[in-house]
Amino acid sequence: MGTFGNKGNDSYMSRKRYPEEYKRHLLNLVRKGRTPEWLAQEYEPSTRTIHHWLRADEGTTQTHKTDLTTNAQLLNSD
């Protein structure tokens, strides 16, 4: 009997790691109008993975924008 949830396939739980440049390329394609569904058919990452990358990138971008706004407000308050 195998490990719980493994079903005897060693690659079942493994995750593929993608280079950051590759992720950025696919995210740029989404921003230019390609859908994550289309990209999942043309490239290897799943639709779910691409959506995850988008959410993570939008969170990072939003945090960066908030930091810039806060810094500008601090500079203008002097």
Say what the pLDDT of residue 67 is. Answer: 55
How many distinct structural domains can be found in the chain? Answer: 1
List the domain range (segments joined by +) for residue 39.
20-70
Say what the pLDDT of residue 73 is. Answer: 57
Q: How far is CA 71 from CA 12, 14, 57, in A?
A: 46, 41, 21
Say what the pLDDT of residue 39 is. Answer: 95
Is residue 24 in a domain? yes
Is residue 48 in a domain? yes
Q: What is the pLDDT along the chain (78 residues), one digit of tens a residue?
A: 444 444 445 555 567 899 999 999 999 999 999 999 999 999 989 999 999 999 998 887 655 555 555 555 556 665
Is residue 47 in a domain? yes
Is residue 75 in a domain? no
Is residue 61 in a domain? yes
DSSP 3: -
Report CA Rg, the chain.
Answer: 19
Give the C-alpha separation, 30 to 40, whole Å.
11
